[in-house]
């Protein structure tokens, strides 16, 4: 086993129905709320570029007539939070079936657990409390709208912050980041820890063309974590 298990939240632990529609709707609503030039608002095809724009996202927002980057995330997070509350009340937002067991097993084996998310910190905390898994994590790292799109994955900063807080010593211990996207894989490799891509279904990521780095492991369910050779 590894000594430290770091998990992504969305679509690794928490199942968000139709995630690309979900996040595009939030993006679209946020843009509509903040724009002073509705005629500049982008269509879906243009909005899709947003998720891969990295640190260029502010320029992209500007080209769409949105000038205030930090406020953008404040509104984005508020809409995200509202939607998650509604969906969880309707029972449409849930943990994957294997999550509780696997997290508890890791915890019982006296290994450490942490969570590294690009979602707002207060939303991460709300979800962990709501699904009663908060106590299983030694550290969590989510974003806050004032600091930190620049520390969002694929930056390794969140992982490095948590490793430091947990006094992780790479000469004595092994750590693994488990996530469903290439952002998770890239962040893990930049932080010099193992990367595990969780696919949840076979067809996801059948091609990884254009990926900057590749995962050390690929799994379909979390219980496979226990059989990884390290």
Site of interaction with Mg ion (CB under 5 A): 8, 10-11, 180-181
- Judged by CB, which is closer to Mg ion: 66, or 120? 120
The least CB distance from residue 3 to Mg ion, in Å, is 23
CB of 199 to Mg ion, least distance (A): 12
Judging by DSSP bridges, how do beta strands 94-95 and 194-198 pair with one another?
Answer: unpaired
Nearer to Mg ion, 64 or 182 (CB): 182
Question: Minimum distance between the CB of residue 190 and Mg ion, rounded to whole angstroms?
Answer: 17
Nearer to Mg ion (CB atom), residue 117 or residue 194: 117
Pick between residue 41 and residue 87 the one whose CB is nearest to Mg ion: 87
In whole angstroms, the minimum distance from the beta carbon of 136 to Mg ion comes to 18
Least CB distance to Mg ion at residue 6 (A)? 12
Return the exposure string of 168-203: e unless at least 16 CB atoms fall within 10 Å of the residue's CB, then b: beeeebebbbbbbbbbbbbbbbbbebbbbbbebeee
* Structure tokens belonging to residue 81: 């939070």
Q: Which is nearer to Mg ion, 181 or 194 (CB)?
A: 181
Own/partner contacts of 148-153, CB < 8 Å, gap of 24 or more, are 149/55, 149/57, 149/69, 149/73, 150/55, 152/118, 152/183, 153/8, 153/116, 153/118, 153/179, 153/183, 153/184, 153/186, 153/187
DSSP designation for 216: S
Provide φ and ψ at 42, rounded to 5°: -80, 155
Nearer to Mg ion, 66 or 191 (CB): 191
Q: Which two three-digit tokens encode residue 91? A: 């029972």
Contact yes or no for 12/185 (Cβ under 8 A): no
Least distance CB 107 / Mg ion (angstroms)? 21
């Amino acid at each position: 086993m590894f000594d430290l298990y770091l998990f992504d939240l969305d679509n690794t632990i928490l199942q968000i129905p139709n995630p690309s529609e979900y996040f595009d709707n939030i993006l679209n609503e946020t843009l509509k709320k903040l724009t002073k030039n509705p005629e500049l608002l982008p269509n879906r095809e243009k909005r899709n570029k947003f998720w891969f724009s990295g640190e260029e996202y502010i320029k992209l927002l500007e080209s769409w007539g949105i000038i205030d980057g930090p406020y953008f995330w404040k509104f984005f997070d508020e809409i995200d939070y509202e939607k998650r509350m509604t969906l969880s009340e309707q029972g449409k937002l849930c943990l994957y079936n294997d999550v509780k067991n696997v997290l508890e097993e890791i915890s019982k084996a006296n290994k450490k657990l942490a969570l590294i998310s690009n979602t707002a910190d207060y939303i991460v905390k709300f979800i962990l409390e709501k699904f009663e898994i908060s106590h299983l994590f030694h550290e969590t790292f989510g974003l806050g709208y004032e600091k930190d799109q620049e520390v969002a994955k694929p930056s390794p900063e969140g992982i490095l912050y948590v490793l430091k807080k947990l006094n992780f010593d790479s000469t004595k211990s092994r750590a693994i980041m488990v996530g469903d996207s290439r952002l998770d894989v890239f962040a893990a490799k930049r932080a010099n820890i193992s990367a595990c891509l969780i696919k949840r279904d076979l067809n996801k990521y059948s091609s990884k063309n254009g990926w900057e780095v590749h995962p050390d492991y690929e799994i379909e369910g979390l219980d496979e974590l226990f059989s990884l050779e390290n």
